[in-house]
């Protein structure tokens, strides 16, 4: 959202703008961070500074090509009069919030998730002022980032504009800023709500700030182990699921269960075996392992790398659910679903045609976030089994360059009766198109464009 906020603040004439970011724009960012270009080699902060300096040469732009941490936040933020919080990292959001609250710096909060956006203004006039923890007391470390889960690109623009608008209103003293209120917006329904926040959080912010590292989960220095490594020596490890009741799935036989919400570190014993904890994505298990090591000492504990999601992908990408950069095999997909108990197999093959809407097509490019795509494709296969009683479902999809007449997708399903095979195959086709994060770029004789952009 920062790439949306900054140009509008520059255009409005904010005298000094500090941009903080060490990342270099990635192709996957560009659908929502539209002020950057393909092939960008500068950091986001420097590239954005160049842009807004051209927009308004009379303002001062300071570039900080670092990631914000507890060790550098004082030197970067202390002199600011207003902070616009535009990060995509849960712990950094709380770092900025807690620092601003302690130091009396107004903060405009913004967050996006899939199709939803959130905006608020925390004025921080005193320690009794409403702040982020009054709405969300603790960081939810299992909430994936935009890069992890995908996000509708327009919601980033909308929330960024609302953040810029709040900053302008507050600095100019006009209108009704969102002081102590949380604005929520859904891009699919256009539903918008403004919630009045109450002072719910009563803890000592000084103590919380001094005792919290605010390190991002991916920065935690915790021992990790892969699913493949455990498979090689299953009997060596004590595998524990910390997933809640509505999330849990066994990844091996004899998996122990201790939900994260009820885990008591004081009662934990290692039972003379290395322990491997797993959650959905590896975030909660990393946090838990760090706490166990911190409180219990040098125990042999691990976090499962990538969590349950990686196991699902591991199991399915090797068999029935695959995203491939090579040519798809129709026969292989067919053979994967052959079952002697089934009397019907339905097969769909999607190929690339040479025209669309009266224009000549030269080829297609498919981009995908593979982890989320395979997970969603697996859900679709499971739904086919629940709805139509399929015995097996195989879904193959291409990524990368796909030429004319090449196969882009193959779906095969087997059922006892042929009617259900047709229905299940049609269902899988429609759901694949509507739900799976696969983006198609159509190349024409006179240019190219993205046909779809799904979260």
Catalytic annotation, residues: 146
**Cα-trace Rg, the chain:** 25
| Strand, helix or coil for residue 326 | coil
User: Which among 71, 65, 95 has a CA at the least distance from the CA of 83?
Assistant: 95
Six token digits for residue 445 = 């004789």
With residue 441 as reference, give the H or E element that holds it.
Answer: strand 438-444
- Would you say 55 and 14 are in contact if contact means Cβ atoms under 8 Å apart? no
Cα separation, 95 vs 214, whole angstroms: 6
For residue 236, count CB atoms less than 10 angstroms from its CB and return exposed for 0-12, middle for 13-18, buried for 19 or more: exposed
- Would you say 290 and 215 are in contact if contact means Cβ atoms under 8 Å apart? no
Six token digits for residue 275 = 């322990």
How is residue 9 annotated by DSSP? H
Give the residue carrying structure tokens 């009766």: 417
Dihedral of CA atoms 105, 108, 109, 111 in degrees, nearest 10, equals -150
Helix axis angle, 44-55 relative to 2-12, nearest 10°?
30
- Please list, in sequence order, all residues whose beta carbon lies within 8 angstroms of the beta carbon of residue 165, skipping any fewer than 6 positions away: none
DSSP sequence for 163-210: HHHHHHHHHHT-S---BTEEEEEETTT--EEEEEP-----S-HHHHHH
| Strand, helix or coil for residue 133 | helix
N-terminal to C-terminal alpha carbon distance within the chain:
16
- Please list, in sequence order, all residues whose beta carbon lies within 8 angstroms of the beta carbon of residue 77, skipping any fewer than 6 positions away: 83, 96, 99, 100, 103, 105
- The alpha helices in 212-329, defined as continuous H runs, are 227-232, 283-296, 307-317
Six token digits for residue 216 = 């991002």
Cα separation, 239 vs 197, whole angstroms: 41
| Strand, helix or coil for residue 341 | coil
Six token digits for residue 7 = 């140009």
């Amino acid at each position: 959202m920062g790439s949306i906020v900054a140009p509008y603040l520059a255009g409005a004439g904010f005298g000094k703008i500090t941009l903080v970011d060490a990342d270099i724009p990635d192709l996957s960012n560009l659908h929502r961070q539209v002020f950057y270009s393909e092939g960008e080699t500068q950091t986001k902060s420097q590239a954005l500074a160049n842009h807004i300096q051209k927009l308004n040469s009379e303002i001062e732009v300071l570039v900080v090509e670092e990631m914000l941490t507890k060790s550098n936040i004082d030197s970067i933020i202390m002199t600011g009069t207003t902070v616009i919080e535009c990060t995509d990292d849960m712990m950094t959001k709380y770092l900025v919030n807690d620092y601003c609250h302690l130091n009396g710096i107004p903060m405009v909060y913004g967050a996006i998730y899939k199709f939803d956006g959130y905006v608020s203004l925390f004025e921080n006039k005193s320690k009794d002022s409403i702040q982020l923890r009054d709405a969300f007391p603790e960081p939810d470390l299992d909430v994936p980032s935009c890069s992890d889960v995908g996000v509708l690109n327009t919601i980033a623009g909308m929330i960024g504009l609302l953040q810029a608008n709040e900053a302008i209103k507050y600095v100019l003293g006009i209108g009704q800023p969102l002081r102590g209120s949380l604005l929520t917006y859904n891009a699919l329904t256009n539903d918008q709500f403004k919630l009045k926040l109450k002072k719910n959080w009563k803890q000592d912010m000084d103590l919380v700030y001094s005792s919290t590292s605010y390190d991002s989960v991916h920065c935690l220095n915790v021992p990790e182990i892969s699913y493949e490594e455990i498979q090689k020596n299953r009997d060596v490890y004590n595998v524990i699921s910390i997933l809640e009741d509505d999330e849990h799935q066994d990844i091996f036989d004899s998996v122990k269960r201790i939900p994260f919400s009820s885990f008591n570190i004081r009662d934990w014993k290692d039972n003379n075996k290395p322990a491997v904890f797993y959650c959905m994505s590896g975030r909660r298990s990393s946090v838990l392992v760090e706490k166990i090591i911190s409180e219990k000492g040098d125990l042999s504990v691990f976090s499962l790398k990538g969590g349950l999601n990686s196991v699902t992908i591991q199991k399915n990408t090797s068999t029935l659910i695959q995203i491939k950069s090579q040519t798809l095999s129709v026969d292989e997909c067919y053979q994967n679903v052959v079952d002697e108990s089934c009397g019907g197999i339905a097969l769909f093959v999607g190929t690339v045609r040479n025209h669309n809407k009266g224009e000549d097509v030269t080829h297609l490019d498919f981009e995908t976030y593979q982890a989320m795509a395979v997970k969603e494709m697996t859900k679709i296969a499971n739904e086919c089994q629940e709805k139509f009683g399929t015995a097996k479902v195989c879904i193959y999809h291409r990524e990368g360059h796909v030429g004319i007449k090449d196969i882009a997708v193959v779906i095969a399903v087997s059922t006892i009766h042929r009617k259900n095979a047709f229905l299940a195959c049609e269902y899988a086709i429609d759901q694949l198109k509507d739900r799976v994060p696969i983006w198609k770029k159509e190349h024409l004789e006179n240019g190219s464009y993205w046909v779809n952009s799904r979260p």
